[in-house]
Chains A and B, each alone.
Chain A
Amino acid sequence: MSGATFVLNGRSVPFKLGQFILDAARDNGIQIPTLCYLKGLSPSGACRICLVEVKGARSLMAACSTPVAPEMDVATDSPRVHEARRLNTELLLSAGRHDCLLCEANGDCGLQELAYRYKVDGSFFPRNEDVYPVEDINPFIVRDFSRCILCGRCVQACNQLVVNRAISHGYRGKDSKIVTGGDNPYHQSDCVFCGQCVEVCPTGALTEKKMRGLGRPWETKRIRTTCPYCGVGCQMWLHVKDDRIVKVTAVEGAAPNDGRLCVKGRFGYDFIYSEERLKTPLIRENGQFREASWDEALNLVASKFTEVIEKHGPDAIAGVSCARSINEDSYQMQKLFRAVFKTNNIDHCART
């Protein structure tokens, strides 16, 4: 069936059997806007932003969850589609308090992008002011229900991606809310603060508390690095402003973590800015540590090692390397022990 084609905006293009319109369009260079769509997970069709016009169909179809059929005629940007997206964006905007001034998602918000693209400001419908209060009690994640569009991405990520199964859709109708078991706050629920819900939230409903006020998305540069905690080696973006990490997110589609992080990787970065950091070499004298220059401290160590080797032989020195630090550091340390001291008394916590 590799020869199957359908009509996309008047052009006959190929698709893979079983593909949804959204993916087939992307493969053919047409981007259809989405809010709830999460790559790799089953489509929910909740946000109705990816609506497209399918010739012969009674209503507009959600591109994320409608499979392509051979010779199907799809228009992704017709006036009817345009109008429906505009209206849906208006409805989403009116459902809560989508003011961008203090929103942490400003500049990195799917809804804001749609409003800009379809030139709507949320004034068409009366605004719903009857929303659940903000949950700001745990140390990491702010849940602002007034910015929640109930797209369900967080629920999908929690249940299908990281499989922590801490949140789901709760209540019904106008009372709908994303809830934990028993609708408790995150810190009193099964939530393990991996922050995957924040990572996938397309609006400012779920944001990181730690970075509040520290920088707008366009002010930060992203640096790719590897997590400093366990042996999985997750790939992460450090969002850096003025030489300071303000946020950490997962690198999407990268090995080995495929867009995920855990609580330590995502939120455990700021130890490096602790005031308790060691900032100068220290030498112990009469039971007290005093500050020293690099030259003094290094010379002292070099002369002490030389003395020990002369008096007792190289095997009177032993060393433990660090399983947290970079490869190059461990290489240098074993080289120092082997090539300079002439001993193999070098180990690290390899077995623990």
Chain B
Amino acid sequence: MTNSFVDFAKAKMIFVIGSNMTEAHPVAASFVKQAVLAGAPLFVADPRRTALADMAELHIPIRVGSDVAFLNGLMNVIVTEDLYDKAYVESRCSGFEELKAKVLEYPPERAAEISGVSAETIRDVARRLASVKPVMLMYTLGITEHTCGVNNVLSCANLQMLLGNVGFECGGVNPLRGQNNVQGACDMGALPNVFPGYQRVDNAEARAKFEKAWGVTSLSDKPGMMIPQMLEGLPSGKIKAFYIFGENLANTEPDIRHVEHCLESAEFIVCHDIFPTETTRFAHVIFPAAAWSENDGTFSNSERRISRVRTASPPPGAAKPNWWIFREIARRMGHKWPSKSAREIWDNEVSALAPSMAGVKYNRIRGNGLQWPVPHEEHPGTPTLHRDRFTSGLGMLVPVDWTPPAEVADSQYPLVLSTGRRLYHYHTRTQTGRAAGLNDLLGEETADISPLDAAALGIAHGEMIRVASRRGEVKVRANVSDRIPEGVVWMAFHFREACANWLTNPAFDPVSQTAEYKACAVRIEKT
């Protein structure tokens, strides 16, 4: 996020797109709802009428996968009606003429046709977003989990820059990260193209720095593979050994049948986990790991805040901290690593090597932690990014075109399946499924469908139905809900038997390699 959670409750106007915050980020949602109580108008763009939409000034039910068209439509109005922040765009952004030319191709009538939202609504929302400064924009995976995910993100950034809303408290572009430490895993360089602190592997200077620090030579300058390519590399034989640390790929990746075929064909798989999972079934070696409250360390949240994690109890049996396991493998391959605790790893390595975290030391993060960038040890942290100038200089306005999802409804599969999370469970339930009580509140998956589709097919609420896509089919209970628009089926991936990923489409954004979990074609029928 460019901004901080503390801004949410104070925001003057909020635009939420592709985020079911009350279920996936309930505490963040509480701040948004408080802002509404304090008088801030809230706009929620989402195909479903989410609980947050109930509190909105306006719920904008865009069609699944139409985000760019809708956002370009808003920007068309903002440009043609001269509502954009000229001074901001001129002094702080580049690429305005190109963006203008592109959004002019999306008059509200065209955007309306694609998004299913009326042209009047698009005009109205655009004018209202331009009437207050700053507007705070939040999004979640409804934006990113598309084959056009990167373009969706660029569109959100375009809109906020055009309105002059980036670089201020209570403004900005704010993606809510799905997992507790997905921000941190990125920051630490668990990515194929960057070292810790986003220093590129194809930069010779960066490599020289890490070679020196790690006491090694010839670090690879070739960016590595992303998860989909790794999985494909298993049956093709390109990948001989696959190391899976704390991920349940057999449930979380799209098209489970195909993913399991990939895992099955692997020559050698190592897993770290705290539980046996659907994925560890394919392992050749499983290491038992210490869990969350069994080791000391740090998490980094969506607002780049580095906070402490502390030990409450020892791990069971012979389970060990993950960092220790990696260190032992390195040692057995001839590398002696000096850091002997999470604290030493952070203080002596991470903060010494990542300039944006140079000022973060364990003795400074006792209380509320610090938000990077923290360039030196007297620095208080950075709650708002791009304050006086963009980190990269000028904010780049990047024109993007709308593209439909890779798979759209047709006569054979006439409905669109969209997926996500529900309040009472988390991902594949390895944790929440074993916490007493949560299964009592939500014990099985449902296929959420609209009353219109249910009536057309004679499906009653609570009836078992079959949901089928080109990848597979599941039997699941129908949840007939007027929060779902006609033509859409909505499911989560918490329960193995009726996991949405038996159905989802392994089509990926060409740049980010994010799967299109939010859109594929399905049909439903009575069982």
Contacts and interface: CB of A to CB of B under 8 A. Distances in A.
Interface of A: 138-140, 160-164, 187, 192-194, 209-210, 223-235, 238, 240, 243-245, 254-258, 260-265, 267-272, 274, 276-284, 289, 292, 294, 297-302, 304-306, 308, 311-312, 314-340, 342-352
Nearest to A259: B27
A281 B284 CA distance: 11
B292 A228 contact: yes
Contact of A230 (B24, B268, B310): B24
Nearest to A230: B25
A344 B342 contact: no
Nearest to A327: B184
Interface stretch (B107-115, B312-320, B404-412): B312-320
A304 B246 CA distance: 20
Closest 9 CB pairs of A and B: A279-B317, A233-B301, A326-B297, A231-B177, A322-B246, A139-B437, A344-B224, A163-B33, A319-B243
Contacts of A265: 27
B298 A326 contact: yes
A311 B241 CA distance: 12
A300 B328 CA distance: 12
B275 A163 contact: no
Contacts of A234: 27
A321 B245 contact: yes
B243 A318 contact: yes
B303 A256 contact: yes
Contact of A187 (B181, B239, B441): B441
Interface residues of B, number: 150
10 contacts: A225-B309, A245-B293, A261-B27, A278-B274, A306-B333, A323-B184, A326-B299, A327-B184, A342-B219, A352-B178
A329 B34 contact: no
Contact of A231 (B201, B252, B287, B301): B301
A269 B327 contact: no
Given A305-B329, A340-B333, A320 B308 contact: no
A336 B145 CA distance: 30
A60 B291 CA distance: 54
B440 A324 contact: no
Contacts of A305: 241, 329, 333
Contacts of A277: 274-275, 288, 291, 316-317, 319
Given A324-B180, A352-B178, A314 B220 contact: yes
A279 B319 contact: yes
Contacts of A334: 188-190, 195-196
A226 to B, nearest CB: 4
A317 B245 contact: no
B356 interface: no
Nearest to B22: A192
A262 B438 CA distance: 12
Given A272-B313, A352-B178, A338 B333 contact: no
B345 interface: yes
Nearest to B30: A162
B219 A339 contact: yes
Given A139-B440, A278-B273, A321-B245, A316 B240 contact: yes
A299 B241 CA distance: 15
A338 B215 CA distance: 12
A301 B133 CA distance: 56
B241 to A, nearest CB: 5
Interface in B116-152: 141, 144-145, 149
A9 B182 CA distance: 54
A233 B180 contact: yes
Contacts of B333: 302, 305-306, 340
Interface of B: 4-6, 22, 24-28, 30, 33-34, 36-37, 55, 141, 144-145, 149, 176-193, 195-196, 201, 210, 214, 216, 218-220, 222-227, 230, 233, 238-247, 249, 252, 267-268, 270, 272-276, 283-289, 291-295, 297-303, 305-314, 316-323, 325-330, 332-333, 335, 337, 342, 345-346, 349-350, 367-369, 423-426, 430-438, 440-441, 509, 512-515, 517
B185 A330 contact: yes
Given A264-B438, A332-B327, A349-B179, 14 more contacts: A263-B423, A271-B434, A278-B286, A280-B317, A281-B288, A321-B188, A323-B181, A326-B181, A332-B345, A333-B190, A333-B243, A338-B195, A345-B224, A350-B190
Given A232-B25, A267-B435, A327 B299 contact: yes
A298 B188 CA distance: 24
Contacts, number: 466
Given A238-B293, A320-B245, A281 B318 contact: yes
B10 to A, nearest CB: 12
Given A235-B368, A324-B179, A334-B188, A163 B329 contact: no
Nearest to A283: B285
A268 B185 CA distance: 23
B227 A210 contact: no
A284 B305 contact: no
B182 A350 contact: yes
B222 A344 contact: yes
A166 to B, nearest CB: 12
A291 B216 CA distance: 35
Nearest to A253: B368
Contacts of A228: 180, 292-293, 431
B340 to A, nearest CB: 11
Contacts of B314: 243
A338 B222 CA distance: 11
A47 B275 CA distance: 48
Contacts of A333: 190, 243, 245, 322, 326
B293 A319 contact: no
A222 B321 CA distance: 22
A100 B8 CA distance: 41
A63 B523 CA distance: 63
A351 B288 contact: no
Contacts of A230: 24-25, 176-180, 426
A220 to B, nearest CB: 11
Given A228-B431, A282-B286, A326-B309, A302 B437 contact: no
A347 B192 contact: yes
Contact of A348 (B22, B182, B318): B182
B309 A226 contact: yes
Nearest to B272: A322
A272 B293 contact: yes
A342 B220 contact: yes
A342 B149 CA distance: 31
A345 B230 contact: yes
A187 B183 CA distance: 34
A233 B4 CA distance: 12
Contact of A298 (B192, B224, B289, B329): B329
Nearest to A257: B27
A348 to B, nearest CB: 5
Nearest to B287: A281
A327 B316 contact: no
A231 B427 CA distance: 13
Contact of A351 (B219, B233, B319, B514): B514
A260 B225 contact: no
Contacts of A284: 283-285
B286 A281 contact: yes
A234 B514 CA distance: 27
Scoring A228, A243, A319, A328 by chain B CB atoms within 10 A of each residue's CB, the highest score goes to A328
Nearest to A296: B285
